[in-house]
Structures are given as structure tokens and as C-alpha cells.
């Protein structure tokens, strides 16, 4: 017997992000769970949650990767909200004397690349969230394994991804899990710090978590 579909699955990296979202969540049908840090663990854990829900006959309607992020200066302010138009695996590829080469430009068979290094957000889910959060900044969100912490690496990311607005560590992995489950995906982030030279004193985690609570109203 197949049960009624569940609501959205919202996954975060850490419990504090999940708690911030639950604090502002108006819809009890929305599931919010922390799944771990980094694209590999986040993707694997999300895939398991989606598979278990499907086997139970209560598949989710869509997947949201949510949490705090670093924002590119001049594109989004600290404390601001971001809705990702694409999840981009920014450091998946190869170095060369001519510069970084994304993995989907290395000549591998397409079937080995899944969705490639850039997975678009579902347009309807993105539009629905943007309608509820009109002050959010739209743009690609980069997924990195190593958080950017120098001026040189920040400049390199800006050159390779001139439209990107933020960076985090889980979105691409979650997007791959959603894509394989044929479910809509979008990334929702609030900015805790500017991307650039590492400066813990400039981080505003509390403000970013408060912004997540405000943003949670859009997840109904």
C-alpha cells in the first residue's frame, strides 16, 4: 500500500542549523534533519533518507539543502538570504598549468558524471521560495570541500564563477541525491561571513541562524 506523499525534506549540515529552521517552521509536514558536513556525507545521508521514505510509501515532494554560508562581497551582505539557482561542485576537477579544469571537461563519458558539476535548482520550487522571500539574492551557490580562506583563492573562484553569490559545503551532494530520486531540489542559505581571508572575528553565525529562522516561513 502506498501512503500519501510527505512534505519537503530539508537537510542541514549541523544540528544548530536544523534547530534554527524548526524554530520558524509553519508546516509540521516539513522534515528538517542535520545530515553532516561536506558533499559526500550530505549526499549519502540524503539519498538514504529519500530511499527509506520511498520504500515506506511516503516519498518526499522535494529536497532543500539549507544552512549558513559564506557570501561573495558585493553580491550578498552578511545576514542576507540566498536562493541558489544552481549547485556547483566548484573544486571537482583537475589542476593544470593553464588553470583549473572542471571534471566534466576532462573527457570522461557523460554517464560517469551524473548531473555534471552544475545542477540547476527546480524552477517551480525556486520560484515558490523566491515569492515568499523576495529579499533573497538569486545566483549559483558553490559547493567546496575546502572553505575559501585567502584573497588569492577568492579571486580564483570569482574568475571561474563570476555569477556565484555564495559558497557552502553540502549543496551539490544533496542535489545529486535529489536528482537520482527524481525530486525537485533547491538550496537556501543565509550568509554568516564574507568569502575571503579567514577571519573568525568577522563571522556572524548568530545573525545567520536568526535569518534561517526567518526564512523558514517560506518552507510551508
* Structure confidence at residue 1 (pLDDT): 36
Instruction: Tell me: pLDDT of 22 over 90.
Output: yes
* Nearest partner of 86 among 13, 181, 189, 5, judged by Cα: 189
Strand partners for 53: none
What is the average pLDDT across 182-201?
A: 91
Confidence of residue 113 (pLDDT cuts 50, 70, 90): low
Return d(Cα 176, Cα 166) in angstroms, integer. Answer: 19
Return d(Cα 90, Cα 35) in angstroms, integer. Answer: 21
Of all residues in the chain, the percent with pLDDT exceeding 70 is 95
Note whether 33 and 11 are within 8 A (CB): yes
Note whether 157 and 142 are within 8 A (CB): yes
Which of helix, strand or coil describes residue 37?
coil
* Structure confidence at residue 27 (pLDDT): 74
Instruction: Tell me: pLDDT of 38 over 60.
Output: yes
* Nearest partner of 186 among 65, 67, 89, 96, judged by Cα: 65
E strand spans, 97-184: 101-102, 118-120, 137-143, 166-168
What is the average pLDDT across 29-47?
A: 95
Instruction: Tell me: pLDDT of 6 over 80.
Output: no
Note whether 197 and 5 are within 8 A (CB): no
Taking each helix axis from N to C end, the angle separating 171-180 and 39-55, rounded to the nearest 10 degrees, works out to 30
Domain 8-219 in CATH 3.90.180.10: no
Amino acid at each position: 500500500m502506498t501512503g500519501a506523499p510527505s512534505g519537503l525534506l530539508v537537510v542541514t549540515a549541523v544540528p544548530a542549523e536544523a534547530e534554527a529552521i524548526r524554530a520558524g517552521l509553519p508546516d509540521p509536514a516539513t522534515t528538517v534533519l542535520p545530515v553532516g558536513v561536506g558533499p559526500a556525507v550530505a549526499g549519502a545521508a540524503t539519498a538514504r533518507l529519500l530511499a527509506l521514505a520511498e520504500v515506506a510509501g511516503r516519498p518526499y515532494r522535494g529536497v532543500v539543502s539549507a544552512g549558513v554560508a559564506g557570501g561573495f562581497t558585493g553580491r550578498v551582505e552578511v545576514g542576507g538570504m540566498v536562493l541558489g539557482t544552481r549547485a556547483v561542485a566548484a573544486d571537482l576537477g583537475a589542476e593544470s598549468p593553464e588553470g583549473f579544469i572542471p571534471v566534466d571537461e576532462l573527457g570522461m563519458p557523460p554517464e560517469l558524471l551524473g548531473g555534471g558539476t552544475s545542477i540547476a535548482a527546480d524552477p517551480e520550487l525556486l520560484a515558490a521560495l523566491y515569492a515568499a522571500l523576495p529579499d533573497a539574492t538569486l545566483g549559483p551557490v558553490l559547493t567546496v570541500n575546502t572553505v575559501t580562506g585567502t584573497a588569492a583563492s577568492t579571486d580564483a573562484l570569482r574568475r571561474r564563477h563570476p555569477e556565484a553569490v555564495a559558497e557552502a559545503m553540502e549543496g551539490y551532494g544533496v542535489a545529486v541525491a535529489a536528482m537520482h530520486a527524481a525530486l525537485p531540489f533547491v538550496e537556501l542559505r543565509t550568509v554568516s561571513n564574507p568569502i575571503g581571508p579567514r577571519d573568525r572575528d568577522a563571522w556572524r553565525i548568530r545573525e545567520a541562524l536568526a535569518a534561517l529562522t526567518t526564512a523558514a516561513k517560506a518552507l510551508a
